Structure 1
Amino acid sequence: MTIALMWEAKAAEGRGEELLRWARGQRLATEPSRRETFAAPGDRVLVITWWEGEDEVSAELPELPTPESDLIARPVHRWRFRQV
């Protein structure tokens, strides 16, 4: 089974590029089978990681941390999905 973790943050005013660099520079304790980073209008950054072999969406998996509060405009959003 594959679990996908989605992490999305909105940068503080004028700090979109900095948030993107921050997200790209974050390393996880274990490397996922796949990782992609996206940017969107409004200085939003989305990171999706794919994990193989996990059989529950609640499995313990490393996640990106929350950036310093002055770098983001609101709390980070996180979602987990299982492949169906």
Structure 2
Amino acid sequence: MTVALMWEARAVEGRGAELLAWARAQELPSHPLRRETFRAPQDRVLVITWWDADHDAELPELPEPDAELVMRTVHRWRFESTAVE
């Protein structure tokens, strides 16, 4: 089964580039099948990692950035793949 972990944070206004650089620099203790990083308006950063694992498996996730860098706590979601199209 393929599980996707989504990590999304919103930077303090004007610090989106810094949050993006921070997210890209985070190393995980094991390597996912795939890792992709996105940015969006309002200084938001999204990281998706794909894993060959069960939905409830223990998987490494990106940590919380320093509170001074973000406007709120990180949002996290976990999805399982249903099909590849």
Q: Give the TM-score band, short-chain normalised.
A: over 0.9
- Scaled by the length of structure 2, what TM-score is found? 0.94
1:40 CA drift (Å): 0.2
In 2, the alpha carbon distance for the partners of 1:59 and 1:8 equals 20
Identity value in percent = 67
- Alpha-carbon RMSD: 0.6
Question: How do 1:68-79 and structure 2 match up within 5 A?
Answer: 68-79=66-77
Q: Deviations over 1:55-76 (max 9, x none)?
A: 2x22100000000000000110
User: What amino acid sits opposite 2:20 in the alignment?
Assistant: L
* Shift >4 Å, 4+ stretches: none
Listed as ranges, the matches of 1:1-84 within 5 Å are: 1-52=1-52, 54-55=53-54, 57-84=55-82
Task: Give aligned pairs, total.
Answer: 82
Distance in 2 separating the partners of 1:37 and 1:5:
12
Task: Compute the TM-score of the two structures, normalised by the length of structure 1.
Answer: 0.95
What letter is aligned with 1:76? V
* Unpaired segments ≥5 residues, structure 1: none
